[in-house]
Amino acid sequence: MSMITVHEAMSQALAEEMRRDARVLMFGEGVATKRKDLLAEFGASRVRNTPLAEGIIAGTAVGAAATGLRPVVDLLFAPFLTLAMDALVNSAGKLRYLSGGQFEFPLVAIAMTGSGWCVGAQHNHNLEAWFAHAPGLKVVMPSNAADFKGLLKSAIRDDNPVLFFVDLGLLHQTGEVPGSESLVPIGQAAVARPGRDVTLVSYAKTVPVCLQAAETLAAEGISAEVVDLRTVKPLDLSTVLASVGRTRRAVVVHEASLTCGVGAEVAALLAEHAFDSLMAPVRRLAGPDTPTPASYPLEQAFVPQAAAVAEAARTLVRPG
């Protein structure tokens, strides 16, 4: 175990997987410039800069994945994915199916998102639900250094296209990271804190928010369980159901805008599968249906806060 940042955890995952498998290569906007360590170890053929042209970056990754390589592409900020969506959604997500299984698309598309850098809505837009709605794609969004490393390694080894979202607010946070061969499986949630009275379901930067809320609640005698989804799709329904089956109350928390967000899916799944266990309606706390502002206080206000999460949980556990 060692204490490293999320950024360092991702660098370790990339280097280890490139060392393990000669078919893995990485390219994108500034990849060779910023990842000098990878360039030095693996050479200019496997670590490449590209034009600032997301359509061809993603398309090249998809074409390469179908024909024997395992590309990882860095598309920088999530809103830039709108220019890469034809390749990712129409080609990578659909052509395995439409070809009757003739081709697979083992690729990882990395994009940063979320508040923290005051960059405004054309650099900060949590698009994970868009891609979760597109068939054939997996969507990963970790909350801590160990999961960033373990999930990125799993994403690189997966034979499906994986969208790997990096929450900007977490990039420089540190965490304990185990040794090289500790993979975190895609599609497996984690119980970040056990509890009895209410389940806080979240992912990415709002997991620490939920953990903070759970601390507050504990001081009041309310035991909150925090479930970190880690993977948005495929979503680990059984872990969520097991938790809510015990606590019988749920609050879903994420930074992405409320309408048709991941919280809507989780709430619908709970209504379908856990209606009889629920003692109270499922609550959703999410960003508003607005673009994200640049101004620091407004940007912070966009994200659900621990006090609001604690209050939502409190009203579920102690109504009236």
Binding site for another protein (CB under 8 A): 25, 45-46, 48, 50-51, 53, 55-56, 58-69, 71, 86-87, 90-91, 95-103, 135-136, 138, 160, 234
Q: Which residue has the tokens 């997991």?
A: 207
Q: Are 189 and 240 in contact (CB under 8 A)?
A: yes
Judged by CB, which is closer to another protein: 90, or 122? 90
Judged by CB, which is closer to another protein: 7, or 23? 23
8 a catalytic residue: no
Judged by CB, which is closer to another protein: 17, or 197? 17
User: What burial letters (b/e) apply to 116-129, b meaning 16+ CB within 10 Å?
Assistant: bbebeeebbbbbbb
Give me 238's structure tokens. 């059984």
Shortest CB 251 distance to another protein, Å: 28
Shortest CB 317 distance to another protein, Å: 36
Judged by CB, which is closer to another protein: 67, or 320? 67
- Catalytic residue (one of 16, 29, 54, 299): 54
Shortest CB 52 distance to another protein, Å: 10
123 a catalytic residue: yes
- Catalytic residue (one of 29, 123, 125, 255): 123
Shortest CB 213 distance to another protein, Å: 34
Active site residues: 54, 123
